[in-house]
Amino acid sequence: VQGDGSTTSITVDFGDGTAISYANISSIEDGVKHTYSKVGIYQVAAMALNSLGSESVLLYLHVTCTLEQVQLSAPSVVVRNKAVSLSTVLKPSYVGTVTYYWWFNNHTEPVVTLVGGMSFTFYKEGTHTVTVQVSVGNTVLQDKITVAVYEYFRSHVLAFSSNLDAFNPGVAEWRQDISRVVKDSMIQVTGINGEQLLVSVLPGLPTAAELCLLPEKRSTEGTMNRKGTHLEQLSQVLLSALNQDLIQFTLRPGVQVNVYATRLSPAPLVDTSESGHNGAAVIMLVSVVFVGLAVFVRYAEIALPFPKIVIARLISVYVTKQEVG
């Protein structure tokens, strides 16, 4: 299109449902700017129009975002021979095409998926390591967790007095410290062997935790039903202490935190039925709230070519992607 820029209008369609029109090109001194909320490939169309005619041009933009963090989530204790769900959380959550490599213990070959979750069954009791590697373009990040596998165990979901939430910074080190303090309080009040207690404070707000009561490692005599009965007795001792507000700790001077039992896990004491629920279900019942992470990434300036428009400048599109995780 030939003609004076002051009499030439332009319409730009950014391919995500947004279009902007300008009465004349001369009014666009800083270029056309647009914010994409999601990654992807967008077709940008621009049309210039004046009394001498019109001219259109297409441009394809590939909007991407850099992966900054990956978090692997799985139950800390699971039942042997029962499938358990593993999942990942990416920040930011939309980063384009992602490949996941799942490594279990010392296996030489990973399980490869294109989704951030999978189901896995542990066939041996003991401690197992799960590692997930997330690949996006040239970026590879990983996270690793440890899962304890038992034939049976008892599980409770714990809640805390609401004053704890104000001091929850949302970091793993803090959750580990609170887990240790709660476990120490339980040992002191109930006298239960510390090797049989596993406390894991969960991410998110309101602050919650999972308590797992494990079979005694040195206990080899007796039937599985007897061992299960013993765990049930210990479970009742813990519930009694929790219901009487005996499990508490001082977070700082003047801040006393009480610990409560909210509900029982559907995990069986003795795993004898193929249709029974596994111990991992308790974590899936807890509502974990992840605080959103805002990421702002600015991409390189891209010029829209208008070879036949006679003006002193080219219109540049500055593509800025804003991702809320």
> Regarding predicted confidence, which is higher, 294 or 63?
63
Q: Is the pLDDT of residue 124 over 80?
A: yes
- The total of other beta-carbon atoms located within 10 Å of residue 13's CB is 17
Residue type, 29: E
Range name among 49-63, 81-95, 125-139, 259-273 with the lowest pLDDT average: 259-273
pLDDT at residue 225 in the model: 67
CA distance 158 to 156: 6
DSSP secondary structure code for residue 292 in this structure: P
pLDDT, position 206:
94
Mean pLDDT of 144-165: 92
Compute the Cα dihedral for 109, 111, 113, 117 and give only its sign: negative
Question: What topology is assigned to 69-150 in CATH?
Answer: Immunoglobulin-like (2.60.40)
pLDDT tens string 232-271: 999 999 999 999 999 999 999 999 999 999 854 434 343 3
Per-residue pLDDT at 114? 95
Q: Which residues of 192-230 are buried (b: 16+ CB within 10 A; e: fewer)?
A: beeebbbbbbbbeeebbbbbbbbbeeeeeeeeeeebbeb
Residue 2 pLDDT grade (very low, low, confident, very high; cuts 50, 70, 90): low
Q: Which of 82-86, 192-196, 313-317 has the lowest mean pLDDT?
A: 313-317
Higher pLDDT among residues 113 and 228, named by residue:
113
How high is the pLDDT of residue 102?
Answer: 97
Does the pLDDT value for residue 104 go beyond 70?
A: yes
Band (66; pLDDT cuts 50, 70, 90): confident
Q: Is the pLDDT of residue 318 over 70?
A: no
| Mean pLDDT of all residues belonging to the chain | 78
- CA–CA gap between residue 324 and residue 322 (Å, rounded): 7
**Mean pLDDT for the stretch of residues 113-129:** 94
The residue ranges of every structural domain in the chain are 5-65+294-324, 69-150, 153-289
Q: What is the pTM of this model?
A: 0.57
| CA-based end-to-end distance of the chain | 43
Tokens of 202: 């969960």
Fold of the 5-65+294-324 domain: Immunoglobulin-like (2.60.40)
> Residue 177: its pLDDT value, please?
95
**% of the chain residues with pLDDT over 90:** 48
Looking at the predicted structure, is the pLDDT value of residue 304 above 50? no
Joined together, the tokens standing for residue 146 give 């440890």
Residue 3's pLDDT band (cuts 50, 70, 90) = low
Q: Find the mean pLDDT for residues 40-64.
A: 89
